[in-house]
Amino acid sequence: MAHPVSAFQAAYISIEVLIALVSVPGNILVIWAVKMNQALRDATFCFIVSLAVADVAVGALVIPLAIIINIGPQTEFYSCLMVACPVLILTESSILALLAIAVDRYLRVKIPVRYKTVVTPRRAAVAIACCWIVSFLVGLTPMFGWNNLNKMRRTQELNASHTEFVIKCQFETVISMEYMVYFNFFVWVLPPLLLMLLIYLEVFNLIRKQLNKKVSSSSNDPQKYYGKELKIAKSLALVLFLFALSWLPLHVLNCITLFCPSCETPHILTYIAIFLTHGNSAMNPIVYAFRIKKFRTAFLQIWNQYFCCKTNKNASTTTAELGN
């Protein structure tokens, strides 16, 4: 029998729905902009599309599933596990996409002459495919056995290993905190974040060295190239910073839950941490719109061409300007 939704749950659901309504259209707009603008077709923007796909899935899939888990329906154990795993897959996909973006920006400033021969569209596609494969393996690890099934069986004194039993579906009920902390956080979240921090520090260092050669340079082209790279690197580093800021609080709370079982974590902190993780999927299109000129121009073109009923002449003129 379904329990009535409390006022607190209604507020939680409303905020989640609002995040989804911002995240899904915003990230679809990012994918749309890359598809229609030739200037956004290099490897970096392909990785950004992969990140946007994950963010669309957060709004369209993870947030509805999170609402279901918050309500806590009675389900079979593995059904609940299937509801809990998508967020793990998409989190890892976002991290690996951010790592691919960081490596790509490093190669652009480290080997600018050979960059296009090293980072080909085919290799970028293979890298994206590998990121998603790894994400599925990491995110579905609980389905392969690293979960709380045996612990729950011991608790409920069910001796038959094949026995299926109904539980109240909640994330911590089915997902092992040992998996979340030792495997997910310490192996697949924290090290990539630290590696990306080092990569961006090196990117900024390389760009600074190149810009300091201005006096000895007889051409302004290198300065223009590295100046543009600096702006894009700052924007993408901001995306990384916002991701870390959004996800680390929840992982810290997971560490407290595992290492200090007697510690009481206020529920409001947990909800704030969850809102931050989901809200991160809505942040990136805003960063792109305000910080990256190519995206801003493409967004304006889409708005003018498809939502403001501009004439075909104006639309084609805008397209021509984007191609230049």
* For residues 173-177, average pLDDT: 95
Beta-sheet strands, E only, within 42-180: 74-76, 166-168
pLDDT reading at 188 higher than 60: yes
Burial of 324 (0-12, 13-18, 19+ CB in 10 A): exposed
pLDDT in tens, 130-169: 999 999 999 999 999 999 998 888 877 654 544 557 888 9
Nearest CA-CA partner of 81 in 112, 255, 89: 89
pLDDT reading at 2 higher than 70: no
* Cβ-proximal residues to 247 (8 Å cutoff; 6+ apart), any chain: 91, 189, 276, 277, 280
Lowest mean pLDDT of 2-16, 118-132, 179-193, 207-221, name the range. 207-221
* pLDDT bracket for residue 37 (50, 70, 90): confident
Predicted confidence at residue 220, as pLDDT, reads 57
Split at pLDDT 50, 70, 90, the class of 4 is low
pLDDT digits (tens, 9 = 90+) for 53-97: 999 999 999 999 999 998 888 999 999 999 999 999 999 999 999
Q: What is the mean pLDDT of the chain?
A: 88
Q: Stretch 213-230: mean pLDDT, rounded?
A: 71
Both tokens assigned to 155: 């608790």
Check: CB of residue 51 under 8 Å from CB of residue 34. no
Closest C-alpha to 69, from 144, 153, 9:
9
Instruction: Give the pLDDT confidence of 233-290 residue by residue, as tens digits.
Output: 999 999 999 999 999 999 999 999 999 999 988 989 999 999 999 999 999 999 999 9
- Asked if residues 135 and 89 have their Cβ atoms less than 8 Å apart, the reply is yes
Name the residue with higher pLDDT: 2 or 9: 9
Contact 73, 12 (CB under 8 A): no
Under 8 Å between Cβ of 56 and 27: yes
Average pLDDT over residues 99-111: 95
Q: pLDDT, tens digit, for every residue of 189-202?
A: 999 999 999 999 99
DSSP 211-242: HGGGTT-S-SHHHHHHHHHHHHHHHHHHHHHH
Where do the domains of the chain lie?
A: 5-150+170-302
Q: At what angle do helices 267-291 and 43-57 cross, to 10 degrees?
A: 150
Give residues with Cβ within 8 angstroms of 167, minimum separation 6: 74, 75, 76, 77, 80, 152, 173, 174
Residue 310: pLDDT over 70: no
Could you tell me if 51 and 94 are in contact, meaning their C-beta atoms sit under 8 angstroms apart?
Answer: yes
Q: pTM value? A: 0.89
Quote the CA–CA distance of 312 and 317 in Å, as a whole number: 8
Q: Which fold has domain 5-150+170-302?
A: Rhopdopsin 7-helix transmembrane proteins (1.20.1070)
pLDDT per residue over 289-309, tens digit each? 999 988 999 999 898 888 886
3-class secondary-structure state, position 147: strand
